[in-house]
Structure 1
């Protein structure tokens, strides 16, 4: 049995996202229709649809940047936020489930597993944002960091994501992290019609350290039904936070 704790908040919590609506469709608006049909399928479902998107593939390259970033990555790995390993041709899976969290927010899991000798996970849960063109990304098992993600669509119908403001979630009045402490992420995911699979490229950089981490590769997706048992406990965070 998985127990999920919720940070107490004495104020009424608004429910983000319309019932049954995809958070990505809501964020992109009319731009959502410019996505490749396979990306519209992948990012167009919600908790009302009773399906998941499970991807299996390989990361052709997993990068680790400056040595100075290694201590941070080792600590972050304890909470499934990045990791210090690197390599080539690494088996990879991603699990996307949509559900309503303890605050009533429409939520999508992004649980990425990299099969090194010691498997590593990079976990996130994304929720709708009141800011047009963005979603809020909570990182790790305990949602310690809340990151605004700006969404866009590339010329080939891919999804382009860039990180903006970052906060330590759960702190009342938590300030935006200074630029020198933040890791700026850039993601591009698109569908390769010739190979019949999704391709993805991610880089995380810091203004002082330069490259912190990155990966690029491919995966194929399937869309199983979510049964009466609901969303598996192992893909949900241990603690849920409400960004203040």
Structure 2
């Protein structure tokens, strides 16, 4: 029998993992908690249905840790306590010094980043395995992304989302972890390089298989830092999460906004109040949650494709998901299938091993792959007219186009308070010459797989628009609540996009108030894609005029 010591066994995830391990042959399971009575009570509850010996013991990680662990004589220590955002490496160090393997459920970015550098040499000296992040992220999320993209010629984007069941129990450590980064910069792989975005900030609505439309927002994980460079993602690696209860999702977004504005610095005092509030907000939610990993790019046969891996958890089995990678690690260690050293569990476990642990639960997974249809502008213009445009313009708008283009731009703005207000409303860039500009195009969203979301970045100032076909088959570009019908016209010189009409929240607006757009795409003498967009207002004149050139961003142009 191999003795497995589980720290944090009486917590939300610890209890689930304890019940799972109690049915895993070949181990002697010791459950620990700061309260010996709680640990022993849980051990008695599990012993009746267990196939292995189960006992309970008191252990306080902050007091006499080494002595307490030594007394238990572990073969493996599993840490399910958390939150790991505020923890150091005392537990894994103690376990390794005592000759025990170690696995934890950490998903904290900083903790994971330093884990290998801090512990790898010690683990190898003792011939032991130390794995961090044996949870939904990064172990499960990374395993799914790697399997989906196996053999692909080019990977453009990876989008990962988790939407837990609103009715599931959430402990104070989980809420504390969420609040620790709400409103603070979290990593995102964007425009082909590592950047940051506000945690729980601007969100979006996505289609979760089996659950429908859910709103999600960026959260702090290590996935962007791992998968961006490892898989050479050309455009984006993003990890988002969503809360089923709208009041929780929007409330958290509001707290994040308060912190960004500097109106509140520490959200930790709110933890006990939010724990109590969930007793009410969870009443109108379900017991069904899910996870989605979606990728896009060019597959092994050179075809533009999208691929999806999704997980659906029912009957309140969602909280079991974060424990499955740890269970898979235990099984692999019992079989002596993991080489010594300290690293992320994402480097040691594959998707099949983690999915195998789902069998006892109401958890199902599926994979799907879809061809990318004709490009939006090819549909609008027709194949023949599209083919007549210059090569650089076709390359920008094609369904296999590079997702990120970079270049330089000049921006001028009109004068006056009204003009300035409208520029801020639409997010139009500030005036400047020789500004670095990046344009990223995302193809498809929750509402329309053929839509395109354009993100224009002028020297760090971004603004977005969504292009799609309306019910009449006309090209429409939306900036928030405002949308404009564009009368696309192409020729051998390029593409023009004048405004035909406009709406706000779907309601037509008077044409005499409609802005005019002189928008033209051409090619310069160097064969580069050129854009020239001049926006004007009735009665006020020039709103903004931006023009410049772009070329595809290749991996050699920067990190990735």
Query: Within 5 Å, which residues of 2 pair with 1:54-203?
Result: 54-59=404-409, 61-67=410-416, 68-74=418-424, 76=425, 81-83=427-429, 85-99=430-444, 101-115=445-459, 119-131=460-472, 134-139=474-479, 143-156=480-493, 158-169=494-505, 174=507, 176-192=508-524, 194-203=525-534
Question: Which one of the candidate residues 18, 22, 29 is aligned to 2:375?
Answer: 22
Structure 1 residue 42 displacement after superposition:
1.7
Question: How many residues align structurally?
Answer: 189
Higher RCO structure (Cα 8 Å, ≥6 apart): 1
Query: Within 5 Å, which residues of 2 pair with 1:188-227?
Result: 188-192=520-524, 194-222=525-553
SS in structure 1 at match of 2:498: strand
TM-score, structure 2 as length reference: 0.32
Which is greater in Rg?
A: 2
Name the structure with the higher helix share. Answer: 2
CA deviation vs aligned residue, 1:180-233 (integer Å, no higher than 9, x gap) = 5432222111122x3231111000011111111111111111478xxxxxxxxx
Q: Does the 8 Å contact 1:167/1:177 carry over to 2?
A: yes
Q: Take 1:203 and 1:217, find their aligned partners in 2: how far apart are those partners?
A: 12
Q: Take 2:552 and 2:513, find their aligned partners in 1: how far apart are those partners?
A: 35
CA deviation vs aligned residue, 1:11-36 (integer Å, no higher than 9, x gap) = xxxxxxx9612111111013112111
Q: Does the 8 Å contact 1:27/1:129 carry over to 2?
A: no
Name the structure with the higher strand share. Answer: 1
Q: Take 1:33 and 1:39, find their aligned partners in 2: how far apart are those partners?
A: 10
Q: Take 1:150 and 1:39, find their aligned partners in 2: how far apart are those partners?
A: 17
Cα RMSD of the aligned pairs, angstroms, is 2.4
1:5 and 2:205 are equivalent in the alignment: yes
Q: Take 1:136 and 1:56, find their aligned partners in 2: how far apart are those partners?
A: 24
Give unmatched runs, 5+ long, in structure 1: 7-17, 225-244
Q: Does the 8 Å contact 1:82/1:122 carry over to 2?
A: yes
Q: Take 1:181 and 1:105, find their aligned partners in 2: how far apart are those partners?
A: 32
Hey, what does 1:40 align to over in structure 2? 394
TM-score, structure 1 as length reference: 0.69
SS in structure 2 at match of 1:33: helix
Q: Take 2:471 and 2:392, find their aligned partners in 1: how far apart are those partners?
A: 26
